[in-house]
Amino acid sequence: MKGMRSLPLALVLCLVAASARAGQISVQFDFRGSSVSLLGGLIQVPPDGSITAAGGTLVASGLGSAAPVAGPAALQGFGMAATLNALTFGNTITGNPSLTQLGGAGGSLTAGLAQVLFASPMHVALAGAINCSGPSCAILSLPRALTGTQLLTLAAMPIANLASVGNALINATYAITLGGLTGSLHLVGTEVSRSYAPVPEPHTAGLLAIGLTLLAGWRAARSRR
């Protein structure tokens, strides 16, 4: 009888242990504050155009929305679209370049939560075109259609305030190539939303099964009494 009375306590302990589990934090970023430089800085967007759409999601492990932990991380769903409208040496350069991430870019969030170290480049698809009219377009190797894919090396992506809901920031600069034109992407991201999804660890299901078994036995014993 004494053992039967102690069963509810055992059940509580099992369920408490099961609830102490890690989960997944997904932080959505707005990257419209970014900028692009092309042709050795002759084109700067903005002001020579604008970033019309840009966003992506950083996924990391955590114990809650405001409790990220070091470990596996990934950048997913990154995309950026821009317009060009520049006057350079008597040439009018216009266009509508865009980048779309293919798959995910995996890495690791460091212990200080200050950066994500990516294990491999991000695979992106190019679209749009860069047009040119004027006396030096041939010298600038324009116009160009933007097709195909490229690997964008992310290496280390600095991130700030990841443990503060609504305040996470990304600020990094990467080399890019648009239709053979080299340049740089100054990536600036501000958090717009985040979500948290608990993910049971492998032992959690076992703990819950033990708890349910104990509960069933305790109830059966009480009904017999």
143-177 pLDDT per residue, tens: 999 999 999 999 899 999 999 999 999 999 999 99
Query: Which DSSP symbol is given to 41?
Result: G
- Residue 162's SS3 state is coil
Tokens representing 178? 């648009």
Q: Taking each helix axis from N to C terminus, what angle separates 202-224 and 7-19, rounded to the nearest 10 degrees?
A: 160
Identify the pLDDT of residue 15. 46
Q: Are 122 and 150 in contact (CB under 8 A)?
A: no
- Residue 60's SS3 state is strand
Identify the pLDDT of residue 9. 52
pTM (2 decimals)?
Answer: 0.79
So what CATH class is 25-199?
mainly beta
Tokens representing 63? 């114990």
Q: Rounded to an integer, what is the distance from CA 59 to the centroid of its chain?
A: 5
